[in-house]
């Protein structure tokens, strides 16, 4: 199956050329022309790699990258103006995988895309079948199976996402704000008590009936899931 590449570029001519060239190489291509719509597409679509212009309307490329990296490790190649060292450094510091300066040769860009996709593919293989654990609570991120003391636990998609986030940050206190950003996405505008409701349901499934309680409320701050000592 061919890789899907998201092009976020506000210069229409450049975006058209990239789309044509990438499709000729066999890639599936999606195009957005501003930072906000680019971020939304990146967060809500199955994307293998992003070509991200730095100078974008609504949200600039560095801000898009900063928000994206809170929830995703999708490879990003920045498209930057020549001699903008600050943009390059800022982009790499925010988690960009590579950058290409404008104007660029399409063959160089294609080579960098292939390199990023190869590296990303190797990384994904290493991450396959990752087991998260806190005490006797086990979560398989490949199969999405959750068990405690060998007992299977059925979770809703959002309960599962919240549990993954807590387990990745086990023994740390995560704030309500960070939970909203990383589980409900940065732009969630619903009722904030959705966290409390989801935590309550998660506790009923993962804690009730077991000898130790793993999920703890830290009053006024947020929540944590801790190894019991």
pLDDT of residue 124: 58
Residues 122 and 144 in one domain: no
pLDDT of residue 70: 84
SS3 80: strand
pLDDT of residue 194: 86
The pLDDT of 58-72, averaged and rounded, is 89
Query: Using CA atoms, how far apart are residues 9 and 92, in angstroms rounded to an integer?
Result: 19
On average, the pLDDT of the chain sits at 86
Residues 113 and 186 in one domain: no
Residues 48 and 160 in one domain: no
Residues 180 and 68 in one domain: no
Residues 68 and 101 in one domain: yes
Residues 112 and 45 in one domain: yes
Q: Which residue, 97, 37, 99, is CA-closest to 72?
A: 97
pLDDT of residue 8: 96
Residues 119 and 135 in one domain: no
Residue 174 near residue 166 (C-beta atoms within 8 A): yes
199-214 pLDDT, tens digit per residue, is 999 999 999 999 899 9
Q: Which of 76, 96, 127 is the last residue of a domain?
A: 127
* Sheet strands (E) in 94-154: 98-102, 131-134, 137-140, 145-148, 151-153
* Residue 118 pLDDT grade (very low, low, confident, very high; cuts 50, 70, 90): confident
Strand partners, 192: none
Q: Which residue, 67, 74, 119, 71, is CA-closest to 94?
A: 67
Q: Which residue, 171, 76, 168, 84, is CA-closest to 130?
A: 168
Q: Could you identify the residue written with the tokens 């390059």?
A: 88
- At 27, which CATH number? 3.40.50.2300
Highest-confidence segment of 9-18, 64-73, 91-100, 168-177: 9-18
Number of domains in the chain: 2
Residues 15 and 118 in one domain: yes
Residue 49 near residue 5 (C-beta atoms within 8 A): yes
Residues 47 and 138 in one domain: no
149-182 pLDDT, tens digit per residue, is 999 999 998 899 999 999 988 999 999 888 887 7
Domain containing 16: what range?
A: 4-127
Beta-sheet pairing, 174-175 with 137-140: unpaired
- At 193, which CATH number? 1.10.10.10
The pLDDT of 91-116, averaged and rounded, is 88
Q: Which of 96, 127, 158 is the last residue of a domain?
A: 127
Residues 24 and 117 in one domain: yes
The predicted model scores a pTM of 0.55
- Range name among 143-152, 179-188, 215-224 with the lowest pLDDT average: 179-188
């Amino acid at each position: 199956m061919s890789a899907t590449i998201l092009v976020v570029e506000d210069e229409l001519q450049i975006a058209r050329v990239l789309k044509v060239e990438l499709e000729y190489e066999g890639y599936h291509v999606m195009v957005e022309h501003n930072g906000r719509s680019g971020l939304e597409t990146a967060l809500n679509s199955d994307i293998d790699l992003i070509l991200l212009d730095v100078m974008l309307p609504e949200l600039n490329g560095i801000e898009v990258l900063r928000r994206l990296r809170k929830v995703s490790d999708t490879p990003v190649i920045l498209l930057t103006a020549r001699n903008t060292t600050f943009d390059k450094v800022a982009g790499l510091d925010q988690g960009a995988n590579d950058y290409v300066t404008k104007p660029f040769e399409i063959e160089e860009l294609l080579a960098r895309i292939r390199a990023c996709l190869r590296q990303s593919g190797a990384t994904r293989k290493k991450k396959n079948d990752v087991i998260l654990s806190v005490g006797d609570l086990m979560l398989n991120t490949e199969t999405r199976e959750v068990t405690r003391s060998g007992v299977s636990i059925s979770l809703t998609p959002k309960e599962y996402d919240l549990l993954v986030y807590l387990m990745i940050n086990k023994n740390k206190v995560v704030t309500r704000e960070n939970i909203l950003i990383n589980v409900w996405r940065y732009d969630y505008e619903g009722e904030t008590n959705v966290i409390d409701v989801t935590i309550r349901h998660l506790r009923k499934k993962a804690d009730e009936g077991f000898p130790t309680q793993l999920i703890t409320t830290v009053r006024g701050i947020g929540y944590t899931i801790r190894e019991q000592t």
